[in-house]
Amino acid sequence: MHSRALRALGAVHDPEIGKPLTELGMLGEVSARRGRVRVEVRLTTASCPLVDELRHAVTTVVSAEPGVRGVEVAFTTMAPRERAEFADRLKLTAPPLNAALGVEGTRVYAVASGKGGVGKSTVTANLATALAASGQRVGVLDADVWGYSMPQMFGVRRSPVALGELMLPVSAHGVGIMSMGFFVEEEQPVVWRGPMLHKALRQFVTDTYWGRLDALLVDLPPGTGDATLSLFEFLPDATLLAVTTPQRTATVVAARVTRMAAEVGVPLAGVIENMSAAVCAGCGDRSELFGTGGGAQLAEEAGAPLLGQVPLDVELRRAGDRGVPVVIAARESASARELTRIAGILPTPRRTIAGRALPLSVVGRAGGVGTADGAAG
């Protein structure tokens, strides 16, 4: 029974890291006697917010084994040195997101708008959740440091687990999230100048254990300021998703973002028109409150596809207030169906090495190998 329980526990993954407890060294002593199994789980922190989820997962897989009549799950906490070793192991399992050629297989989408109030963050949260619901490994980096909104969008408000200098994203609805909102009180403003902003964004990219993601969505602040330029520097493989409303004013301002991306060599994956029409909750009639054609016009000017037109309905508003993305809260609503469809057709970014620094191998006379920075042109 002891060996069967150990094999079963190999299927239990840490909810935040996404790897088996056995592989992470989080499984302590496992004992079995007269049909009762005791499992010790070693936590990284005594205040782990996912204790109940871990207890349920362990109990479920072990209880399913023949002859098991009861399961006891005991939790202990790693010592500081063990936590440091744990963080070092994690760093070895996945390269940083800003590696020279990016993380193989990870698609990075920088979601941008020219101005605030067009629903960029709502689009980001729902696209990420829809991708995760399809079985992909997804992260969201909330780069809108001053106007962070991802904690509200996903309904989470707790600090990330810190392992020395390494942070674990907060998990919600299958998505790993990192946001300034996890480090300050909800009503507290972030009054920072450029250098502090630059440093915080760098930490979100390099000091966060994102793991091996299929897709990372970055919620950029509105406009073309320091934060946007910093993120393009940290994530050279990013591609832009431009969000606008049909209104001419929003389209004109959004065009500045697409032009800036072109100037710094960031490809444009496409345009998403949000609030394309208001859908009546009673009769289903559509009212084009913000005009028509803005998204199509921006896409044509930028030479990119119009990926979709997301309507504004009451389910979308309610979901945002509840902190549950509408693609989960109201799957059959008009907004959820369109957002899910867009997530399914997001273009795969084309990587290029033009104009980028590359590590070059240098072989010395004695046969030793070193590295030197080169540039592709």
Q: Where are the domains of the chain?
A: 2-92, 107-344
Paired strand residues for 279: 286
CATH of domain 107-344: 3.40.50.300
* Model pLDDT, residue 368: 37
CATH assignment of 2-92? Answer: 3.30.300.130
pLDDT reading at 48 higher than 60: yes
Q: Which residue has the higher pLDDT, 186 or 5?
A: 5
User: In DSSP terms, which residues pair with 239 in a beta bridge?
Assistant: 109
* Digit-coded pLDDT (tens) for 15-43: 878 888 988 889 999 998 888 999 999 99
Given this model, what pLDDT does residue 102 score?
45
Q: Which of 171-175, 327-331, 348-352 has the lowest average pLDDT?
A: 348-352
Q: Per-residue confidence at 229, pLDDT binned at 50, 70, 90?
A: confident
Q: What is the average per-residue pLDDT within 150-170?
A: 87
Q: Determine what percent of the chain is predicted with pLDDT higher than 70.
A: 86
Most confident of 165-174, 318-327, 351-360: 318-327
Average pLDDT score over residue span 369-375: 36
For residue 204, what pLDDT is reported?
Answer: 87
- Structure confidence at residue 104 (pLDDT): 55
Provide the pLDDT confidence category of residue 192 given band limits of 50, 70 and 90.
low
Which residues, 6+ apart, have CB-to-CB distance to 198 below 8 Å? 226, 230
Quote the percentage of the chain above a pLDDT of 90: 41
Check if the beta carbon of residue 25 is closer than 8 Å to that of residue 89: yes
Helix ranges, the chain (H)? 2-9, 21-24, 51-63, 80-93, 120-133, 150-154, 194-206, 226-234, 248-263, 294-302, 314-322, 326-329, 334-344
Task: State phi, psi for 287 to the nearest 5 degrees.
Answer: -120, 125
Is pTM beyond 0.95 here?
A: no
Angle at 302 between CA 300 and CA 305, to 5 degrees: 60
Backbone torsions φ then ψ of 99, nearest 5 degrees: -60, 165
**CA distance from start to end of the chain:** 62
Condensed to tens digits (0 to 9), the pLDDT of residues 95-136 reads 556 443 344 578 999 999 888 889 999 999 999 999 999 999
pLDDT confidence band for 369 (50 / 70 / 90):
very low
Beta strands 138-142 and 239-244 are unpaired
Which pLDDT belongs to residue 355? 45
Q: Which pLDDT belongs to residue 123?
A: 96
Calculate ∠ Cα 316-339-138, nearest 5°: 105
d(CA 9, CA 30): 10
CA 348 to chain centre: 16
The mean predicted confidence, pLDDT, of the chain is 83
Contact (Cβ atoms closer than 8 angstroms) between residue 156 and residue 124: no
pLDDT in tens, 53-86: 899 999 999 999 998 899 999 999 988 888 888 8
Q: Is pLDDT larger for residue 50 or for residue 310?
A: 310
Residues in the chain: 377
Task: Kindly report, residue by residue over 58-67, the tens digit of the pLDDT.
Answer: 999 999 999 8
300 pLDDT more than 50: yes
Q: How far apart are CA 22 and CA 11, in angstroms?
A: 9
Q: Which amino acid is at 305?
A: P
Q: Please report how the helices 51-63 and 2-9 are oriented relative to each other, as an axis angle in degrees rounded to 10.
A: 130
What is the Cα gyration radius of the chain? 23
